[in-house]
Each structure stands twice: as C-alpha cells, then as structure tokens.
Amino acid sequence: MKTTAENLQGSRQELFIDGEFVRPQSGAYLPSYDPTTGEAWYEFAQAGAADVDLAVRSAQAALRNPAWRRITQSDRGKLVRKLAELVFKHADELALVECRDNGKLLKEMKAQMRAIPDSYTYFAGMADKLQGDTIPVNKLDTLNFNLREPIGVVGMIIPWNSPLMMLTGTLAPCLAIGNTIVVKPSEHATASTLALAELAIEAGIPPGVFNVVTGDGLVTGDALSRHPGIAKYVFTGSTFTGRKIATNAAQNLVPAQMELGGKSPHVVFGDADLDRAVNGVVSGVFAAAGQTCVAGSRCFVEASIYDRFVEALVARTARIKIGHPMAEDTDIGPLALSSQLAKVQDYVASGLAEGARVAAGGNRPTQGDLSRGWYFEPTVLTEANNGMRFMREEIFGPVVGVVPFSSEEEMTRLANDTEYGLAAGIWTRDIDRALRFARNVDAGTVWINTYRSAAYMSSNGGMKNSGYGRRGGFEVMREFSRIKNVVIDYSGAMHDPFVIRLK
C-alpha cells in the first residue's frame, strides 16, 4: 500500500481509475489540511466531468468483464474476504491516514479500522445467499421466477467524518452482489479511500470494479451525481447536499439512498441510572467532537431531576480532555474543518443571543498548541428551548442543549418537533415507557439505556429529512440488487394468439 501517512506528507495524489492511479485531465489539484495545525499536508487531484466519465466507463466495462461477471458468487465472496484481511493487516496505517486527514482520535480510528474487516467478511458471506424466488401465478405449465442481479454501477459520495466506515456499509454489500463502483470521497478526507482502492486490487478484485474520483463537491460530486451511467446513488452527508444529489438522480430516473443529517433527541427520565445516563449523553454528543450524524444534541430531562442531572453533566463534561488526536489520553480532538469551527462558534453565539446559558465550555482553547488547531470545548447550553436555532439545525460539533420536560406526552412532542429523524435515545428503568418511546419517536434507530451502539448486522437509516433507504443486515443486499422477472411456458402447446379465455 503506497498511500501511507508518511508517503502522503507533501505529496500529490492522483485519481484511481481502472486499477491505476491517473492524473486528472485538467491538471488541477486541491490541498488537504491537517486539522491540528491548519496547514496543508498533501494535495489530491480534482476530477472534472471528463475524469468522472472515464471512471464510470471503466466501471461499466468492469460489469461486462468476465473476471467479475463470470465468477461464481462464492468466489466473489472470497475476493471480498481477502479485502477484509488486507484492511485488517493495514488497519493501523489506515487509521493514521484518517486521523491526519480528519483529526479524529487515532485510538478511535484504529478501533474502527480493526472492526471494518468484520463487516466485509459478513457481507462476503452473503454473496452466495442472495437468491430470487419462484411465484405461483395461477397458470398451468408456466414457471415464473425472479432473478436477483447486480444493479450496475453504483455512485457513492461520502463525507469526511468516518470515510472508510461510511463507505464500507454499502461498498461491502455492493461488491458481494457483483456491482461496480465509482466513489467520491470528501475533499476533507480523501486519502484512506485511495488506499482502500489499492488494497482492492491487491485482493484480486478486477480493475474498474472500484474507482475513486477525488475532488470537491461542486465540481467532482456534481459531475458524478449527473452522470447518466450510474444505476443507483449512495449519498452520506448533509441534508442540503442530499437534496441536490437526489434531484440530479431523479433527472436520470435512478434511485438514491440518502443518509443525511440529524438533530437527535436524547431523553433522560427521573428513574434512570444517573451515572449511566450522564455518560450516555456525554458520549452521544461529544464523542468525535460531536461530528457524528447521530449526535444526541437535544437532551430532554425530566423536570424532577433536571438540576441534579445538569450538575452531573457539567461535572462530567469538565473532565473531558481536549487534546491532540494522536495522544492516548485525549477524549476529544479538533473539528475537521476551519469552517466547521466557525459554524460551531456561530451556533453557540446564536443560542446565547436567544437566551440560552453556557453551563460548560462555550469557547475554543486560546492557550498553547490547541489554539493553533480547530478545537472547541464540549459545550452544555441550558435555559434552551426547541425554538432556538441551535436546537433546530444540525451543528455537527460538541454542543448540547438541555431542556426540562414534565410529562411523557410533552417529551414525545418535543422529541418529534424536528425536521430530522435519524436516531433517538432514552434512559429509564421503566420498560413500558421505553417501548412506548420506541414506537412513538420519529427516528430510524432508537437506543434504550445505551447510545451510538451500531451494528452492521442490523438495519439503519433515517426518516424525515434524515433521508431514506436502509443499510446493514440482509436488507442492504436487496437494496443494491435488482429483480428481473422471467416467465417460461413449458406446455409445448401452440396457443391461438387471438383467443381470449374468459373466466
């Protein structure tokens, strides 16, 4: 694997098309910044429409290539399993690449990279289990069956917050099914996807099956989202961008899977185990410096324990260590982008202007090395309400608003009073109440006495403005394959084409 953190430093990265690194036709490159210093550390190619076209054509050719099309499902599964082995072998190196690109903790990235291979292995095992069905159609001497086929070239556009983990959720099943792929990673964390493309070739996956077009959203992403050769899109990113991509996909009459933003409610009842609930809320919103789509950024607390809870939350927040993402004792690192830092500062200021109060955090560190990076303190805002802008819009940073509620009915109304529907969490010892919440809340995933507990075996996805389509489990194999219905008449009889048989 050539795409290592050491090799990336000061380098220029090319596109990965048809199994090879190729220069962008425009000759344009963009800088990738190190979030701990704000300085550029390598450059990556900016793919234009012509490069995207080349990548899609390469993926189309790979669909027809006997080396991909004419291998058995089990052999395809073996290739995906081999990729899993290689990801595991290079897990620490891939983690270092992502850590330098997006500033997320090295220890967290290592854990992700060591877990990702299990997901490839899981879907590799499904390669020979995706089957069609036969349909009883009330016609004698007729066989009617559905074939399950690859859907074609899948266009994937992914964000920067956990690039390989986000990619794996659909790449692994797409490979297992026999699709081919053109992926555009985020311009803020490009390198790990290029490294993965190298590993795919090393695993024996034929050239052209997995192509990477790097560049920004407005040029490269836009070109990919308009290309008529794409059979289905996978988009993970903001609701704002999702709307544009879904519109372009609709113009080409192709489906899209949308994994978008969130403003997830995290509810704490008076009977909850307070320490567990505090830790759950802290990890739910501050992990990865709040840069997770499922961040539980609206915390609703039963009025009877509100003061006690806020006190405990503030005390726990004060113990969070902000630091360099590579240091073992760091709890939260920097934000990935300077614009993200500005956005978080703006939301906190808007909350204060609307009457909220800072109970913890609220600033960026101004002393020492941390003042050079894009760090922001984990922030608890009280005296908040659902009408405030910071409680309605996705911040994607370490900021939580805490609001009291007096009844279950009020809590449900507050929880659902959002345009989003990605995730929700509840802390209570009352199982009836917890299950009522699971039924009544508008969220694709509901966590009871836990939070951010994800698994590739179970289906996940959003509702409302958090998107549509499901990932995980066998469901995703259906989402990225297509049905072809085949009808056979084996009667051997010659039917008069103009005779209509009435019942």
Classify each residue of 22-52 as buried b or exposed e, where b means 16 or more C-beta atoms within 10 Å of its C-beta. Answer: bebeeeebbebbbbbeeeebbbbbbbbbebb
Element at 484 (helix H, strand E): strand 481-489
Element at 233 (helix H, strand E): strand 232-236
245 sits near ligand NAD (criterion: CB under 6 A)? yes
Neighbours of 490 (CB within 10 A): 9
Which residues, in sequence order, are CB contacts of 417 under 8 Å at separation 6+? 386
157 sits near ligand NAD (criterion: CB under 6 A)? yes
Q: Are strands 232-236 and 256-259 parallel, antiparallel or unpaired?
A: parallel
- What is the C-alpha to C-alpha distance for residues 273 and 276, in angstroms, rounded to an integer? 6
CB 298 within 8 A of CB 418: yes
Using CB under 6 A, pick the residue from 259, 377, 393, 442 that binds ligand NAD. Answer: 259
Nearest approach in angstroms of CB 258 to ligand NAD is: 8
Q: Return the number of the residue (241 or 418) whose C-beta is nearest ligand NAD.
A: 241
Stretch that binds ligand NAD, among 91-99, 106-114, 197-205, 220-228 (CB under 6 A): 220-228
Residues near ligand NAD (CB under 6 A), total: 30
Active site residue 174: no
Nearest approach in angstroms of CB 111 to ligand NAD is: 17
Active site residue 20: no
- What is the C-alpha to C-alpha distance for residues 214 and 158, in angstroms, rounded to an integer? 11
Q: Return the number of the residue (280 or 472) whose C-beta is nearest ligand NAD.
A: 472
Helix (H, G, I), strand (E, B) or coil at 6: helix
186 sits near ligand NAD (criterion: CB under 6 A)? yes
- What is the C-alpha to C-alpha distance for residues 315 and 140, in angstroms, rounded to an integer? 74
Q: Which of 14, 187, 198, 259 is catalytic?
A: 259
Q: Return the number of the residue (178 or 217) whose C-beta is nearest ligand NAD.
A: 217
112 sits near ligand NAD (criterion: CB under 6 A)? no
Q: Which of 174, 293, 299, 377 is catalytic?
A: 293
- What is the C-alpha to C-alpha distance for residues 77 and 172, in angstroms, rounded to an integer? 10
- Per-residue x/- mask for ligand NAD, residues 405 to 424, rule CB under 6 A? -----------------x--
Stretch that binds ligand NAD, among 21-29, 101-109, 193-201, 241-249 (CB under 6 A): 241-249
- What is the C-alpha to C-alpha distance for residues 28 and 433, in angstroms, rounded to an integer? 57
161 sits near ligand NAD (criterion: CB under 6 A)? yes
261 sits near ligand NAD (criterion: CB under 6 A)? yes
- Per-residue x/- mask for ligand NAD, residues 197 to 216, rule CB under 6 A? -------------------x
Q: What is the identity of the amino acid at 383? A: E
- What is the C-alpha to C-alpha distance for residues 122 and 457, in angstroms, rounded to an integer? 8
Residues near ligand NAD (CB under 6 A): 157-161, 166, 184, 186-187, 216-218, 221-222, 225, 236-238, 241, 244-245, 259-262, 293, 394, 396, 422, 462
Write out the catalytic residue numbers.
Answer: 259, 293
